[in-house]
Copies of this chain bind each other. A is one copy, B any other.
Amino acid sequence: MKKDSNDIKLENDFWRDYDPGQFEKLSVAVDVLIFAIGEKQQDNARKLPEKELRILLKKRTEFPDKNKWALPGGFVAPAESLEQAAYDKLKQKTGLTDLYLEQLYTFGEVNRDSRTRVLSCSYLALVDAARVDIPGKPSDGGEIGWFTTVCALIADNRSFTEDGYVREKQYVLILEGPEQLKAQIQVKETLNGNIISRSEELVYNEGLAFDHAAMIWTGIERLRNKLEYTSIAFSLLPRLFTLTELQQVYETILGRELTAANFRRKIGHLVEETRHTRADYQHRPARLFRFNPEGGRQ
């Protein structure tokens, strides 16, 4: 464990001879999924607006995939950490710095970009929609906009094999914004003995650049999972919120309805009542709550 003088000599030789170009390098990009919960248009003034899941996309202005919609992202500079690169993109697009951000997945297929080999490390960000004001057209002339996102399971087949099974699930991803985009993802789960393996494949893709549809699918999956065992839901809401708003966040992400009475009890220890109420509608005012991390069961 201790360096002797011979080792030091060797180390000096090493540094003198070291050629950083001796290994072939790769282009590395960072792409950011920025999710928010938005309100649906609503005609009946007495009803509460329904919520929807939105993601921020930017229309590409350059080949390849010119005019397709892509996640905000860019190449990583040699002196910039991955996370820093993601933060920079985020600030550039939303103007905000205090957002929830986590690494999602690194997409490393050889031909995912038609130019050359490009690795993409994706990040997942959550914003309170009320804090972001997206300008219509950014400086480089491209369009940028929110897309309502729906991701649904449309098929689920399992066939048994000699020593396990193969299960194929099909998901559709429909994005509505300035244009309508659509993609289909096939997830193949294989069990062989005790060993499970999974692979995802983009089987249909209309209007989304590169493999960004697969990234969005992965992001929604992560969101759905983390919703159940973390408190990320609060990152999508303002500091004060009603329990119905919180419930709507869960419902839009999970894609199913929950029973109000049970939901309230379930997240009861994660929130704290405040003195304030919201009385914008023609019905009983709702109490405003705030996130109370004390309630977590550690």
User: Could you tell me which A residues sit within 8 Å of B by CB distance?
Assistant: 1, 7, 10-11, 14-15, 18, 20, 23-28, 62-64, 66-67, 75-83, 98-101, 103, 105-106, 108-110, 115-117, 119, 121, 128, 164-165, 179, 191-197, 206-207, 230-232, 234-235, 237-239, 291, 293
Instruction: Judge whether A194 and B237 touch: CB under 8 Å.
Output: yes
Asked if residues A98 and B27 are in contact (CB atoms below 8 Å), the reply is: no
* CB of A32, distance to nearest CB on chain B (Å): 14
Given A11-B63, A11-B64, A25-B28, 14 more A-B residue pairs with CB atoms under 8 Å apart are A10-B66, A18-B115, A23-B27, A24-B77, A76-B108, A78-B110, A103-B105, A103-B106, A106-B121, A119-B119, A194-B234, A194-B235, A194-B239, A195-B235
**A116 contacts which chain B residues (CB < 8 A)?**
20
A100 and B196: CB pair below 8 A? yes
On whether the beta carbons of A110 and B81 are closer than 8 Å, the reply is yes
Complex CA gap A234/B27 in Å reads 37
| Chain B residues with CB under 8 A of A20 | 27, 115-116
Q: Which of A27, A63, A80, A194 has the most chain B CB within a 10 Å cutoff?
A: A194
Bound-state Cα–Cα, A7 to B64, Å: 11
Are A192 and B98 in touch, CB under 8 angstroms? Answer: yes
| A164–B98 alpha-carbon span in the complex (Å) | 13
With both beta carbons as reference points, the residue of chain B lying nearest to A68 in the complex is identified as: B1
Contact of A195 among B99, B117, B195 (CB under 8 A): B99
Chain B residue nearest in CB terms to A110: B81
| CB-based contact A197/B100 at 8 Å | yes
